[in-house]
Each structure stands twice: as structure tokens, then as C-alpha cells.
Structure 1
Amino acid sequence: MKINSKISNLLEQFTLKKRIVFIFAVGTLIPFVCTALISYNAMSSILSSKLDSGVRSNLKNVQQSLESTIDNLNHVSQQLVIPGSVGGYLDTYLHTEQPYERAKYYQDIKTKLNEITFTNPGIGLTMYYSDEENNYLFNTSGVKNDFTINRLPLLVNHFRIANFGPHISNELHSNRYVFSVLRKVDLPERDDIYVYIESDLKHTQNILQRDQTGEQDYYLILDNHGRIVYSEVNNPFQENTYFEGGKSGKGLLNEYYWFKETSDQGWSIVSLIPVAKYNEEKNQWVVQMIYLSIIFGVLSLIIAWLLWKMVYKPLQKFDKEINWMMQSDFQSETFRTRIPEFDYLLRQFRKMKNQISDLFKEIEQKEKRRADLEVEKLLYQINPHFLMNTLDTANWLAVMNDQKDISQLVTSLNRLLYYNLGKAGQTSTIMEEIETLKQYLAIQKFRYDFEFEVRIYTDDVILNNPVPRFILQPLVENAIYHGLSDEGYIYVEVRNDNHNIQIEVNDNGAGISEEAVDRLLNQNQTKQQKDGMGIGLNYVKRMLENHYEGKAKLEIKSLVGKGTSVFLTLPILEVDARD
């Protein structure tokens, strides 16, 4: 269950865009990756077989060429040692003491050697060598001064014949590699004479440089014991060390792939190819596949992005429609997605939006009618209540005072009743509200048996500005009602404040608690009627809501024992709406 919950939470974090891109990318790349892997394995096998075949073919050719060179050396050397040929002349030459005879035999031997070397183009330096005297005779070309047999790398050693090489030629002024053979000459009285023959310089060099694999392989030549007698890679394959690749024909050693061919004579030739070179062609193919993967990946992401845009744009338009509806904007512009399914949903949504708009208008009209009725109801609640109290006061004055007071009271009462009994919802002016407030205060001074001071300040600029009828008197009535006593005062100020009419009513009465302020501003009318409080204030609040549609503001600040301040902020109306 926990795993399912984690998976569900993870899926919820994936937006539509991420899901589309992920699914499309996976659906595109997985077949391509599988195809690429299968192709890589097949291509790698083909390339490896092709390269192995080429290396082995080239190695076999080199091995056969070297075998042919060595066989040729052995064959020529045999001609120089058998009795009845040059070998016979050599024995006569060595035992002849007469200068003339020696010169004649010397010339004959030189002629024979020249004939043999001329008829064998694969032959280079040729001479007879005395092991005991460390001296050479009848050399066909100049010989280096440091010539010695002991320094030559032995390749194959058979009875009475030794093959060396490759090594630097002992021919004077030559630094090329050659193969050589040292063969013992059978003489009756001399056991230290050998014939020494080197392969042709250019021929040997061409064999060793023969490369059909793009100059990417190197050669090792091993003797019949596996010792390296010739190396083109001294590090790590040094001469006179043993090759550790084993007897197989292929392997990997010291970052080189190696291939080995063994001759019938027992020696071996090894071709070395660096791993990087060996894998170069495969790596080129891999790089091409990577580029193709990147191209396919980019294309799949672009297609996924286009697919997401095709879905996202209609969703954006739906979002705009919803935001416009949340902002009560039911007259938004009409647009199309040009996708039939989304256009159908948009049409259905607009139908629903129009129905909601009609419902809002109907509710708004009903609320406005209900507010007007409640305002009128409040007026009829206030006026009889006020009239009964005032008449009681008039009756008391008729008994207790003379006729002048009664006349003045009734005059003020008539003016006040005429104004207050006007039709609910009508507008008045600041000047009319102030004049009516003065009549109301004159009557209140008759009603109460204490004196209180009233100060009224008005800004002349806004005296003729329209305001809802009957909004000042309830505020002053609350000031008198909430604990005003002797030495009390009421301060009324009406001023222009930044394109608003600011009305402030202050008193130094008993004040009211925060809970009572909250009840006056927020509780319903029924509870206020039960305790006889806030009827007029509730009327003012409802009139402001109905007349200014939420743009007016009513605030009350009070401290118990200090007094109360009521603040009205009314937008200035541009047109006088009075009947």
C-alpha cells in the first residue's frame, strides 16, 4: 500500500507536459536504442572479423616473405659451402702458398661470389668469416669495423647453420634492417670458417614496412623459444625479453591486440595493434550512432513539444475563460482552437457561463429589491419609534411648561418628520442633512434633562454634494444613546478628503466595548432589535451598501469611559440623483 501511495504521489507531480514528453521520448528512443544495440553488436562482429582477417592475411604474407628470404639465404649459403663449388676453391686458396696461384684462386672465388649474388637479387653482403681470427674474406662490399657475430640476434639455430635478424646491416654506411645466415664451411683442415650472408637491404626493409591495415600495426619477431629478437615497440615489448602472449594466435596484452603466425622453421612473427586503433573504426560507427541518437532525441522532443502545445493552448484558453468568469467577466472574447473536440467543450463551457451570468443578474436584482425593502422597513421602524417618544415629550412639556416651548418643539418636530418620512432610497445633500440634524438636536435638548454641547463643521465645497437620505441623524442618535451626560459634547465634521466625503462623529460619552462594536457592525438586525440598539446604525450600513455598492466605508472606534468616534467615507457622486 505504501509503495502504491508513493507511486501515486510521484505521478501526481508529473504535469501533462512532462508526461507527454516522457511518453513520446521513451516511445521513440527505446526502439531506436534497441535497434542501435543490435546493430552495434552485428557491426562490431563484422568489423572485428574484417579487421582480424585483414591483419592475419597481412601477417601471413609478411611471414611467408620472411620465410622465403631466410630460405633463400640458406640456399645460397649452401652453394658456398659444398665441395666442388666455391667451397672447393676456398680450401685450395687457403692451402696455396704461391702468390700467383693464390691471386688466381682469389679472383676465381670473387667471380663466383659475384655471379651468385648477381643471380640472387635478395642477397646483400656476402663473405667468408673466420671465427678464431675474427676476420672476414672475399666480402662483396665494405664491412663495418665493429662487426662481430656475437652481437647478432639469433633467430633460429640448427645444426651447422644459424639465422639472425632482423638486425642492422653490417655493410658499411648502412643502417637498414636485414636478415642474415651464418653457416659452417666443411674444410678438411679448418674448423673455424663460416659463410656469412645478409639479405638485400631494400628487400628486407620493404617486407618489414609492408602494411595493409593503414599503418596501424607493429611487428615483433620471436625466436623458436619465444624470445623477442626484434621489436618495433620497445615499451613494453623490449628485445631479449620473452613474449607473454602465450601460444594462441590472438589476444590482448598491455593495451595491444596481438596476432601471431609461426613459421615452419620455429620462429614467430607477431603483429601488434593498439586498442584505440583497433577500435577506431568501431568508435567512428559508435560516434555516428550517438549523433543519430541525439538527432532522434531532439526530433522526438520537438514533436513532443508540438504535441504538448497542441494540447496546452486549448487548456490555456480554458484557463482564461475560467479566470474571466472568476473575475465576473462574462463578456470575454470568443475564440476557437480549430480542434473540433476542444471547440465543442468551449461552446459547452460558454453556454454554462452564460447561464451562470443570467443567474448572477437575477440574484443581484433580487438582492437589490430586498435591500430596498429592508431600508424602507427600517425607516418605518425608526420613525414611529421616534414620533412616539417625541409626542410623549411634547405632552410632558404641555403640562410642565408654557406654550412657547411647546410651539418651538412642535415646529422642529414637523420639520424633522417631513424630512425623515421621505421615500426610502432617495438622495439628499450635505446641507439638508446638516439642517435636519440641527432640528433633531433641538428636539433632543428638550427631551433630556441635561445639557450637552454640539459643534458642527462642514466644508462649504461639498455642501451641495448628493448623499443618501438620513445618514447623519442615526450616528448622532447613537452618540446620545450611549452614555452622554452633563458636560458632554458631540463634534460633527464633514470635509472633502481626496475625492471622498469624510464624515466624523465624535462624543465623550461612556463609550462601548469592542464586543459591542463588533455586534453593531457585524450581527444581524433581529438581535439588535431585541435589545433596542443599533437600529439606526444598521439602516446607515445598509444604505451605504445599497447606494455605493461596497465603495463606502463605515468604521467605529471607542474606548469605554472615554467616548466613541464614528467614521464614514463616501465616494463623491458626480450626478445628483435626487427626485
Structure 2
Amino acid sequence: MKRNTTLRKRLMLYFLIVMLLPLFVFLSFYLISGDRTIMHILTEQASLLIDSDAQAAASVVEKYRHKSYQAAQDALIQSMLESGEKPERTITSLYHIMEGDTYLASLTIWRKDGMMMTSTHNPSSSGNEWDTIRKILPENREWIVTIDGERNENGHQIAFTIVRRIRVDGEIAGYAVINVYSGAITPLLDGGGFFSDLLLIDKERGKAASLMKPQSFYDIYHDNGNNIVTRPIAGTNLMITGTISRTGLENSLREIVIYIIISLSAGFMLSLILTLLFSRSISRSFSLLSSGMKQFEKGDFSTALSTTGISEFDELSRTFNSMVKQIEVLIAREREEEAKAAEAERKALESQLNPHFLFNTLSTIKALAHLHGEEEISIIATKLGKLLRYSINNHSPDATIKESLELAESYLMIQKIRFGERLEYSINCPDELLSFSTPRLLIQPLAENAVTHGLEGKTGDWKIEIKVKKYGANLSIIVEDNGTGFDASQDFKTLAEEGHTGLYNIKRRLELRYGNEFSFMLDSAPGKGTKAIIIIPYGKEA
């Protein structure tokens, strides 16, 4: 027989396992392979960072190598070197090549005889720079990237220098020298917060410059292979090296281990207390849920679960209470629909009249009016007949935009004859939308509502505008009047109780057809007029 255990006991056991297992695993790992694993992890992380930093440095080198090439190919610079003259517009050409990077690097043009022709900066040691050019650039190479030791320029540390020959008609005419400052590289490096130092090294000249410690240069660099990761910078004789400091890390790790052990021990004791309190609150919440559901099962729809202070159980309580309310609403709605159906049937039976008699009577009125020259009466009879025929004979729940607009126009034409020049109306709809299908009786009731509730109580001219248009994936139907307006902040059910039954009926038909994929808005205020806006999916016909 399977033995049942209480939820409280299970929670106690699970909490103990969760607290003890990490402590056991951590201590075992640290005692068996802590130091070796830590160093391995550090090395892997250092390798990833140095790879990223090498790529960043290579991108900077390539950027300024290309600028040196632009300078060497610049016709104005070549002309200056050939003629020996220094036109002022040459400096403009230099700044154009550097593209605003003069706070990150400098560009200097030297003639082959050692004369500095022009520069974006004022070099502080022009003689030393010329000596460097002559020493480092081999005869068989057109350009080189180098580190020239401890050099600063205008307050900036020079990280590396690019030297490129400038040839005119195949002969050496001068040199383009770009000094790239540390500020062009250091913001792009990812390892600045990990390594104790990052060095940029010239392997050929044995020079090194620190990218993390300004003013730090080394005449000779040797890699002893201990706690160092190195990567070459593609396309150059440079490499970038990161040094890993173990001392501070090891001390920090020991402190972390002590803190972890203390924290886990304290957490172990605290978990015993919290488990007891938590399991008690869980049991109480389950009891409340179970009690409420049993009452609902017995048919008590007034049941409402109270909150427990635990979000998950409170969510269950809210969902349960919402479900009970929805069931109550559905039952009430079903009863209301049954009552409405019975009332509609009663009214239909009371008002039943032979439609042929109505149409024949209207035809007689139309003929007599035409016979006596009463064109307005003839028009009214025609339009009224169309309204009655649409209401009585059309049993389809759908109608095209064209049919809905014709019905609205028939109604407005009758009102136009009734009120004369006082009433003006306009109907606008693109031809391509006329065949689109929607639920019946959307537009005419809006026009009727505008006349009955908006215009009849207003002095002066009356205007009604009906617009149908498409934007994006939606179709909009707008009926706007300049009537007296009303308080549109009320919900549709309240408006129906105050006489705006047509608006409520339209909203219900839209809900039944489109669910939540429609919008029916009323923009109105007393004395402002009213704009009714219906937005439905254009691709989803009725």
C-alpha cells in the first residue's frame, strides 16, 4: 500500500536537499580541483578576451593604414613634395583624410630629405621622428607599423606609428607618418577590467607600450609563458599581450569561499524556519480553495474566495471568482435572451401585417402623387418603400457597403424633403469598397441617430457626413454631424437606456460578428456634435 505524506513534510525534505546539496558539491569541487580549475577558467576567459582585443586592435591598425594610403595617393600632397612649396590648402587635405580623428591620431608629411612639410599637429620631437623613419622602414617594404618607445605628442601617449612611403612617378618623394594615440584603442578593448595590464608589443624592435598604464614603455620584452596570453595583430609585426594576476584573485577566492560557507550554513538554519512557516501558509491556502470549490459544487454562486497573500494562490482565487461571475453573467444573459426572444415574438405577432398590402398602398400613393405633380410625395413613397422592402424581405445577416449606403441615402432623402434646405448631407466611398460585405444595418441607424438625437434639437443648418475608407488592413465607417452632441463617456448600455438604442444594437452586432477585432468609438460632447467611428478588419468580410 502506497504511503501518503503531508505536503509540509515534503516541503521540509525538499528544502533540506536544496540547501545541503549545493554546499556538499561546492566543498567537494573546491577541495579536489579548485586551484587547477580556477586557473583553467581564467585562462579560457583570458583567451576569449585577448582574441576580441586583438581583433579590435587589428581594426584600428587597418583603419589608419588605409588613411596612410589615402595620404600617399593624394595629388595635392604629392605636388607639395615634388615642388617643395607648402600651400595652406594642404593642411585642409590632411584634416579631410583624418575625417575628424585628430584627437585620436596625427598625420605628418615628411620630404625624403628629412624636412617636415605639414602636419595636423605640432610634433614635439621632429628630429627623433625622422630618425625613426630612416631606421625602421626596410627598403623592400612600402609601409610598416611600429612602436617607437616612450613618445608623447601634444599630451597624448602614442600607442603605435604607421610609416608609409609616398612615391611620385615611381620615385620616393616623402613619407606619411600617422601616430595613433592610446585613446583610439583602449575604448575598444574588452579585457581592460580583467587583465592586470595589456601590452602592445613590436616583436621586431623589442618595444612594448602599455595600453592600460599611460607613460609605461619597455625597451625589451620577453615572454616567459607564465600567466600571460598573447595574440598577433593580423597583418602587422605587432602583438597584444594580457597579463593575469593570480595573487589578488586567489585572496579574493579564499574570502569568497569563506563567505559562501557561512552564507550556506546560515541559509540552512534559516530554511528550517522558513519551510515551517511556508508549509503552514500553503496548507491554509489549500484549505480555503477546497472549501470555496465545495460550496460552488453545491450550487452556491455567491461564493467568493479571499486573497491569501501568496500570488499563485491569489491568482487561482481571482480566476475562480472570475469564472463564477462569468457563469452568473452567462446564466443571466441566457435568461435575458429568452425574455427578449419571447417579447420579439409577441411584438411580431401583434404587428404582423401583409407586406404586399403595404407595398401596394405605397405604389398607389406614388402614382397619385405623380398624377397630381407632387414629386416630393412620390420620392418619399419610393424611398419609404425601399426602406420597408429592405427591412421585411431581406433576411440575410449581411449587406454590402453599397446596399448600406443606399439604405442610408433613402432615409436621408426622406428627411431632406421633410426639413428642406436646412438639412445637408454627403456620402463618400471609393468604388472598390462598395462590394465589401458587413453586418446589416450599420450605417442607416447611425444616420437616424444623428438626425433624431443630434440635429432635431439644434437651430441653424444641419450637416451629416458619411465616409467609408480603407487604411492598412482595416475599413473605417464614419458618420459625423454638427448636432447638439451628448456625453459620450457613458457605456453603450447606459446610452441605450437613455434612448440611444440603435448604438447599442450596432455594438452587439459587431461583437457577435468580429469578437474583439473591431472598434466602435463615439466622439461627442454637449454642443460639440457627434462623430461615430466603426473600424473593422478589411480582410475579414461578414
The bucket for the TM-score relative to the shorter chain is 0.3 to 0.5
Q: Computing the radius of gyration over CA atoms, which structure comes out larger, 1 or 2?
A: 1
TM-score (norm 1): 0.35
